[in-house]
Amino acid sequence: MTQLIKNKPVIGITMGDAAGIGPEIVLKSLLDADIRATNRCVIIGDGRHLRDLTERRRMALKLVDFGEEEVDAIEIYDLTNLNSALDIGKDQAVTGKASAECIEAAVKLWSEGRIDAISTAPISKKAIALGGYDYPGHTEFLAKLTNTEKFAMSFFADKLRVVLLTTHISLSNAIDRVTTEALIDRISFADKTIRELLGRKIKIAVAGLNPHASEGGMFGSEEAERITPAIEHCRGLGIEVSGPYAPDTIFLRGYKGDFDAVIALYHDQATIAVKSLSFGSGVNVTLGLPLIRTSVDHGTAYDIAGKWQADESSMQAAIRLAGELAGRKYS
């Protein structure tokens, strides 16, 4: 008689772009016995493609259909959407459309209460556009599917948690968007969402914009004119926030646990720090969604797709974090 899984978070794992490393890192991640022991794992994607990969690579994984709930087995929510021949390592409509359909299916499963959280393997923005989907990435797509108007990109890497003020825009535009109003909004939002995820009060630090956080006005005025007023306003709201701190040290302090979250002012300020300190174990977390969504901190890596050389560490970290955050309902 099959032993059913009880009291474990159900993690829906989208397989990502099949022309990239997504399916590889998902399957490799699930070789980890601890991940399988602590979570009920459901891969959302094309069943035939996943089973073919597992067989060809002689992977010690037992794949079953979604709903069988067999201990130590991996369930597949089969979309059967990769019937065409694939051109590995290249953007194409068939894999772009299929990867977008995985995301749609994941949100549907969550809305029906059939999974507790989502971990996403990487997609190609160009491929999903070729497949007929007009979104710059996962974050905006998920926000649209869940009717979420306010959201933010963040990265979790051990004790370092970084929330971005701006993301995929030019540096000159990002600097223009460092305003007191925007920072008040982002600090307040980070305090609310990360406090909810961690289940406790948190300490927030804000990075400066200029070298040495302007060194008292020697290297710029943005800290005094825009950033400090926002921090002081948020302190008046009861938020435990401090700064602005020199950008070249604040992320290391966050990594060591001095703060629960660091506000980064532009994309590369955040990602250089996260990837330098924790490449391979950093996790992208979308704040503000009604569901838990974690993802890898890298892309499709078309250059090594199909070579079975991809490092699955970030995918493993994403699945583990999703399980930890969703697991509170079972504790």
Backbone angles phi, psi at 5, to 5 degrees: -85, 130
Q: Which of 16, 45, 20, 97 is nearest to 318 (CA)?
A: 16
- CATH code matching the domain that covers 150-288, chosen among 3.40.718.10, 3.40.50.2300, 1.20.1090.10, 3.40.50.300: 3.40.718.10
At 83 the pLDDT is 78
pLDDT in 10s for each residue of the chain, 331 residues: 234 456 899 999 999 999 999 999 999 999 999 999 999 999 999 999 999 999 999 999 999 999 988 888 999 999 999 977 789 999 999 999 999 999 999 999 999 999 999 999 999 999 999 999 998 888 889 999 999 999 999 999 888 999 999 988 899 999 999 999 999 999 999 999 999 988 899 999 999 999 898 888 888 899 999 999 999 999 999 999 999 999 999 999 999 999 999 999 999 999 999 988 887 778 999 999 999 999 998 899 999 999 999 999 999 999 999 999 998 755 5
215, two tokens: 């060194």
**Which CATH class, in words, describes the domain spanning 1-148+289-331?**
alpha beta
Q: pTM to 2 decimals?
A: 0.89
CATH 3.40.718.10 domain locations along the chain:
1-148+289-331, 150-288
pLDDT reported for residue 5? 53
Q: Quick one: pLDDT at residue 66?
A: 96
What per-residue confidence (pLDDT) applies to 4? 43
Q: How far apart are CA 330 and CA 106, in angstroms?
A: 21
What pLDDT is attached to residue 98? Answer: 97
Instruction: Identify whether the C-beta of residue 152 lies closer than 8 Å to the C-beta of residue 164.
Output: yes
Question: Which residue, among 31, 224, 17, 46, has the nearest Cα to 128 in the 3D structure?
Answer: 17
